Structure 1
Amino acid sequence: MSDRTTGPARPEWPLYEVFVRGKRGLNHVHVGSLHAPDDEMALHNARNLYTRRNEGVSIWVVPADAVTASSPDEKDPYFEPSGDKVYRHPTFYPIPEDVPHI
């Protein structure tokens, strides 16, 4: 089947999530999503789309169906239990003055 405005019909390409590590950053940050026929093309397209101005030094592309995430509705069961463990917070411990960052 073909359409004059959209071209020949093709199967839907899988969705990829794109993460970029900036030049001054230590962590990869989610910057967006894109569709691509395969992993290599997803990486190529992510570079062209999300790092056109040399913003990054590393790119990760992950098939969206491979990402497992908690739901905002599950906030209490996932994150509330750690609130009662004050020893996990650095404010519980005295920090020596010669320690610049924790």
Structure 2
Amino acid sequence: MSGLDKLARPAQDDRPAGREWPLYEVFVRGKRGLNHVHVGSLHAADDEMAVRHARDVYTRRNEGVSIWVVRSDAITASSPDEKDPLFAPAGDKVYRHPTFYDIPDDVPHM
């Protein structure tokens, strides 16, 4: 087999037969942004590959300054059906809301 034939063939991956790579959620912080924003998902063999693929797919035009990747199976989230019982208790604690405090003008992004 020639060197050219080797280049034309797809690389073998490390997946066991019949199994997909784990799914990762990708978050990117833009140049002007303060927060990481969910931009999409991808499959990768490991964390390092997920970061590299996320960079290649989601920051091709230098949109970001930081990338987070998180395995989807590591995320625990509330259900929209639990909205009322989960978030309602905070509504009666008005002292937790910043409406009673003066925020100085020189404090950015509050």
Q: Deviations over 1:73-92 (max 9, x none)?
A: 1111211110011111122x
Counterpart of 1:88 in structure 2 is: 96
- In the aligned structure 2, how far is the partner of 1:44 from the partner of 1:95? 44
Which stretches of structure 1, 4 residues or more, deviate above 2 A after TM superposition?
none
C-alpha spacing 1:83/1:44, structure 2 compared with 1 (3 Å) = same
Instruction: Report the counterpart of residue 82 of structure 2 in structure 1.
Output: 74
Tell me which residue corresponds to 1:5: none
Aligned to 1:25, what secondary structure does the other structure show? Answer: coil
Alignment partner, residue 38 of structure 2: 30
Amino acid at match of 1:95: D
The percent of aligned pairs where both chains have the same amino acid is: 75
Render the CA deviation track for 1:7-30: whole Å, top value 9, x for unaligned. x96521110000111111121111
Q: Between Structure 1 and Structure 2, how many residues are aligned?
A: 92
> TM-score normalized by structure 2?
0.75
Q: Relative to 1, partners in 2 of residues 1:13 and 1:84: Cα closer, same or farther, differing over 3 Å?
A: same
Root-mean-square deviation (Å): 1.9
Query: Which of 65, 69, 72 is equivalent to 1:61?
Result: 69
**Whole-Å separation in 2 of the counterparts to 1:15 and 1:85:** 38
Unpaired stretches in structure 1, ≥5 consecutive residues: 1-7
For structure 2, the residue ranges without an aligned partner over 5 or more in a row are 1-11
Supply the distance in 1 between the matched residues of 2:73 and 2:101 (Cα, whole angstroms): 44
- Relative to structure 1, is the Cα distance of residues 10 and 40 closer, same or farther in structure 2, using a 3 angstrom cutoff? farther
- Give the superposition deviation at 1:95: 2.4
Secondary structure in structure 2 of the residue aligned to 1:54? coil
